[in-house]
């Protein structure tokens, strides 16, 4: 029996994927192909030929190749993975590699300690630390999350960020990202705000989720960005409760001042220890004089306004 290091990709295919045949490009006529074959061209790239259709990057074969490696009972894990690494001629993606490790773990083909050894030796030659992080999380997540990544509804970068920040609640965050089509910047902002609120009020994320009514809003028959706006508005109210409760009253008091149009009030988000911003716009000396006259006439109302604030 051949040793692992002597096994070629062709041997794996012939032994474990019998319905796919390997031929060299010069030995086949594309017009007469009736069964799936794998064509080896001069540049050593493989292409799957299915009937008369040429499929670039051998998508079908790539899937079967991973299954073949995982199903074979390799005694030497490093040799098995080394062989798999050579399959980069099939343009294997992060999802392909995650599938490889995921299947290996599920079938208990190797202990986790072997994976550590692999990353410290072979893996470092082929993958960056970021690559390893992507593959790790794709191996650990539930199948339903994996499927969302697979179909493009969830970015790996967002998934990795959630894992680093709040792995305990990864299910909740993933559902929210997918439901609201949140990009990475929006996700970071949401996580920062929710963490701030939870720490300030000494509550957990689940309790805040219920207060924000997130699950009910997501279920509504509304466009994603409409739901996003509703939930974010609720989040903003929880983040600045004093401003929210006082906002209408402050605006009513300001309206009672009957200020000129060029005299505006800007209420800061955080009223705790902050101050109001009042601005005026004067196009000429006449505007300025009329504003001064208004201030003199409304001095009592202005005192009452700032007295309330």
If you average pLDDT over residues 277-295, what whole number do you get? 76
Query: Could you list the residue range(s) of the whole structural domain that residue 300 is in?
Result: 245-308
* Residues 6+ away with beta carbon under 8 Å from 167: none
Determine, yes or no, domain membership for 121: no
The pLDDT assigned to 247 comes to: 72
Choose the final residue of a domain: 110, 132, 162.
110
Task: Look at the alpha carbons of 92, 95, 97, 99 in this order and tell me if their dihedral is positive or negative.
Answer: negative
Residues 88-126: b if buried by 16+ CB within 10 A, e if exposed? eebebeebbbbbbbbbbbeeebbeeebbeebeeebbeee
Determine, yes or no, domain membership for 127: no
At residue 79, does pLDDT exceed 70? no
Q: pLDDT higher for 135 or 100?
A: 135
If you average pLDDT over residues 108-129, what whole number do you get? 72
Choose the final residue of a domain: 207, 239, 271.
239
If you average pLDDT over residues 207-235, what whole number do you get? 82
For a pLDDT cut of 70, what percent of the chain falls above it? 59
| Same domain? 8 vs 93 | yes
If you average pLDDT over residues 22-36, what whole number do you get? 48
Domain count, the chain: 3
Q: pLDDT higher for 223 or 55?
A: 223
| Same domain? 235 vs 286 | no
| Same domain? 195 vs 269 | no
Determine, yes or no, domain membership for 263: yes
Determine, yes or no, domain membership for 128: no
Strand order through the sheet with 37-40? 21-24, 37-40, 46-50, 53-55
Own/partner pairs, 300-308, CB within 8 angstroms, 24+ separation:
301/256, 301/257, 301/258, 302/257, 304/253, 305/253, 305/254, 305/256, 305/257, 308/249, 308/253
| Same domain? 101 vs 24 | yes
Most confident of 74-88, 161-175, 206-220, 257-271: 161-175
At residue 96, does pLDDT exceed 70? yes
Could you give phi then psi for residue 111, rounded to 5 degrees?
Answer: -75, 155
The pLDDT assigned to 230 comes to: 84
Tally of CB atoms within 10 A around 244: 15
Chain position carrying tokens 């994603």: 224
If you average pLDDT over residues 92-111, what whole number do you get? 74
Report helix, strand or coil for 280.
Answer: strand
| Same domain? 98 vs 158 | no
| Same domain? 264 vs 198 | no
Split at pLDDT 50, 70, 90, the class of 188 is: very high
Determine, yes or no, domain membership for 133: no
| Same domain? 227 vs 256 | no
| Same domain? 83 vs 60 | yes
Q: pLDDT higher for 205 or 123?
A: 205
If you average pLDDT over residues 269-284, what whole number do you get? 64
| Same domain? 30 vs 104 | yes
At residue 15, does pLDDT exceed 60? no
The pLDDT assigned to 85 comes to: 64
Count of CA atoms in the C-beta half-sphere (13 A) of 261: 2
| Same domain? 197 vs 162 | yes
Determine, yes or no, domain membership for 274: yes
Count of CA atoms in the C-beta half-sphere (13 A) of 94: 21
Tally of CB atoms within 10 A around 186: 15
Poorest-pLDDT segment among 69-73, 108-112, 144-148, 289-293: 69-73
User: Could you give the CA distance from residue 26 to residue 72 in angstroms, rounded to a whole number?
Assistant: 31
The pLDDT assigned to 275 comes to: 59
Report helix, strand or coil for 30.
Answer: coil
Choose the final residue of a domain: 61, 89, 110.
110
Task: Return mean pLDDT, the chain.
Answer: 71
Split at pLDDT 50, 70, 90, the class of 153 is: confident
User: Could you give the CA distance from residue 199 to residue 238 in angstroms, rounded to a whole number?
Assistant: 12
| Same domain? 58 vs 104 | yes
Structure tokens at 159: 């998934």
Report helix, strand or coil for 29.
Answer: coil
- pTM for the complete prediction? 0.57
Determine, yes or no, domain membership for 63: yes
Determine, yes or no, domain membership for 120: no
At residue 60, does pLDDT exceed 60? no
Most confident of 123-132, 159-168, 284-293: 159-168
| Same domain? 98 vs 11 | yes
């Amino acid at each position: 029996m051949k040793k692992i290091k002597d096994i070629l990709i062709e041997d794996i295919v012939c032994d474990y994927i019998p319905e796919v045949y390997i031929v060299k490009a010069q030995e086949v006529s594309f017009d007469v192909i009736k069964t799936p074959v794998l064509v080896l061209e001069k540049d050593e790239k493989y292409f799957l030929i299915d009937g008369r259709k040429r499929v670039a990057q051998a998508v079908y074969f790539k899937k079967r190749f991973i299954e073949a490696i995982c199903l074979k009972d390799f005694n030497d894990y490093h040799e098995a993975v080394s062989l798999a690494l050579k399959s980069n001629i099939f343009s294997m993606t992060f999802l392909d590699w995650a599938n490889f490790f995921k299947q290996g773990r599920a079938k208990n083909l190797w202990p986790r300690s072997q994976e550590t050894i692999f990353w410290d030796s072979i893996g470092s030659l082929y993958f960056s630390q970021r690559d390893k992080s992507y593959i790790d999380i794709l191996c650990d997540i539930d199948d339903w999350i994996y499927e969302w990544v697979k179909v493009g509804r969830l970015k790996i970068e967002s998934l990795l960020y959630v894992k680093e920040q709040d792995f305990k609640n990864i299910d909740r965050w993933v559902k929210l990202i997918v439901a609201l089509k949140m990009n990475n910047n929006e996700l970071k902002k949401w996580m920062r705000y929710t963490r701030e609120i939870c720490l300030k009020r000494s509550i957990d994320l689940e309790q805040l989720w219920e207060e924000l009514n997130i699950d009910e809003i997501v279920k509504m028959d509304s466009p994603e960005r409409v739901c996003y706006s509703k939930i974010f508005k609720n989040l903003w109210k929880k983040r600045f409760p004093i401003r929210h409760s006082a906002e209408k009253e402050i605006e009513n008091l300001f309206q009672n001042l009957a200020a000129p149009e060029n005299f505006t009030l800007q209420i800061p988000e955080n009223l705790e220890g902050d101050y109001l911003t009042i601005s005026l716009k004067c196009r000429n000396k006449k505007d300025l004089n009329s504003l001064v006259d208004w201030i003199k006439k409304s001095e009592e109302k202005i005192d009452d306004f700032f007295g309330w604030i």
